[in-house]
Amino acid sequence: MTHLKTLTVAAALMAGTALSAQAQELHFIMCGGEVRPADQKVIDKFQADNPGVTVKMEAVEWGTCQDKSMQLAAAGDPPDVAYMGSRTLRQLANNDLIVPVTFTPEEEAAYQPGVLKTVTNGGQYWGIPHAFSTKALYINCTVVEAAGAECKAPATWDELIALAKTVTDNTDAAGIGIAGKDFDNTMHMFLDFLYSNGGKVFNDDGTPALDSKETRETLQLYADLLPYMQSGPTEWERDQMKDLFNDGQIAMYVNGPWGEGQHKEKVPNQLVAPVPHGPSGTNGTILITDSLAVFKGTGNEELAIKLAKALTSGEAQYDLDSSWGLTPILQYEKLGIADPYYTKGNWPIFVAGISTGGPEPMVEDFKALQAVFTNMIQGIMLGEGTVDELVTEAGVELAKVR
């Protein structure tokens, strides 16, 4: 690996003068398979502002992207910067593969509340958030009204269960779609409800907190909703439910802000509402970020952080958030942007849950964490244990996850 290259200028050689110029190449791995226009605009300006610096962008599909960045780093040939899920940061930090990031007080204050918790481990920040999502409940009003019910957002879990039952009893549709497949968004959807019930996965000191009354109440919600879910819930992940919702086969499910556009043509009569709250909490949501991680040992760490901060600065980040339909990662009003996009339509619903939401848990072994939740959720769906037994077991298994 050569991140700092010395180039001999051809014209100087021809003139017989041994002049050389130093050029720096930053290797940037972008998960998602494409370099988005909002990011490319910043990269072009960064190269223009830093003569001799070239940013080599490598767009890799999500399925292999994060593994590629980590494998390169472990082999001693790390990229300078990688865009990846924030859940990977703890593993990278604990293996001394990335550098911590510092923010000025002004930078910290600009973030939406709770966002920086998604990149925090051991009292330090390990990534710069670059994409952010929250969740809400989507309701197909046509299906609900066909069941003879008013299309009104359920505020509590009891109201959610009652509405799901009414739909199931009076139409051919299922009342609600719940993810149960062995997939990450099965855990994510459960956390939407857990965080809407005041629950936690880990305490602030890092100790496990899943074995709790709040988790038992949330798993009991799943048990209560089971008769009103789509058929075979363990075979479905959240993204597949979009089609069930669009086809009128489920009346409700939880999804991100992008869902509204995905449903618009087939479900023009849709209602977006906060995730209903449980008996021990208030409306919340899982807070998920993707971040820019700066890798250690390249010799370009300072320059890489400079690029990462340029990509996540106010105007550039706003361009990305608004063009890609993301929950705002920054409080843009504080940065002088008047009448931001997220004050309109259903956006306030997705913004309101930020302050009461909780982060996607950051662990080294994410698949082990995912298995803790999948086993608990599938256990209640398949009748393989009581709520108390399954939560107790999940708490024991979580204690083994690092």
CATH code (residue 125): 3.40.190.10
How many independent structural domains does the chain possess?
A: 2
90 shares its domain with 196: no
Q: Which of 173, 150, 146 is nearest to 228 (CA)?
A: 173
d(Cα 364, Cα 22) in Å, to the nearest integer?
A: 38
57 shares its domain with 178: no
85 shares its domain with 166: no
| Degrees, nearest 5: CA angle 383-218-161 | 85
d(Cα 111, Cα 385) in Å, to the nearest integer?
A: 42
Structure tokens given for 10: 């051809």
233 shares its domain with 298: no
d(Cα 81, Cα 383) in Å, to the nearest integer?
A: 45
104 shares its domain with 82: yes
**DSSP-assigned letter for residue 383:** T
203 shares its domain with 274: yes
pLDDT at 11: 32
pLDDT at 204: 84
pLDDT at 22: 57
Residue with tokens 């956390």: 191
Structure tokens given for 306: 């400079």
pLDDT at 32: 86
Residue 58 lies in domain:
4-133+287-358
58 shares its domain with 157: no
279 shares its domain with 307: no
pLDDT at 62: 86
Angle between helical axes of 37-49 and 301-311 (0-180°, round to 10): 130
91 shares its domain with 230: no
Per-residue pLDDT 10s for the chain (402 aa) are 333 333 333 333 333 333 333 579 999 999 888 888 888 999 999 999 999 999 999 999 988 998 999 999 999 999 999 999 999 999 999 999 999 999 999 999 999 998 999 999 888 999 999 999 999 999 999 999 999 999 999 999 999 999 999 999 999 999 999 999 999 999 999 999 999 999 999 998 889 999 999 999 999 999 999 999 999 999 999 999 999 999 999 999 999 999 999 999 999 999 999 999 999 999 999 999 999 999 999 999 999 999 999 999 888 899 999 988 899 999 999 899 999 999 999 999 999 999 899 999 999 999 999 999 999 999 999 999 999 999 999 999 999 998
- Contacts (Cβ under 8 Å, ≥6 apart) of 297: 76, 78
Cα distances (angstroms) measured from residue 35 to each of 56, 120, 223, 233: 11, 26, 43, 35
Q: Which of 205, 142, 213 is nearest to 173 (CA)?
A: 142
93 shares its domain with 167: no
Structure tokens given for 58: 């490598």
111 shares its domain with 145: no
8 shares its domain with 124: yes
The dihedral through the CA atoms of 136, 142, 148, 152 has a sign that is: positive
Q: Which of 281, 290, 256 is nearest to 118 (CA)?
A: 290
Q: In 3-state terms, the chain is what percent helix, strand and coil (to 5)? A: 45, 20, 35
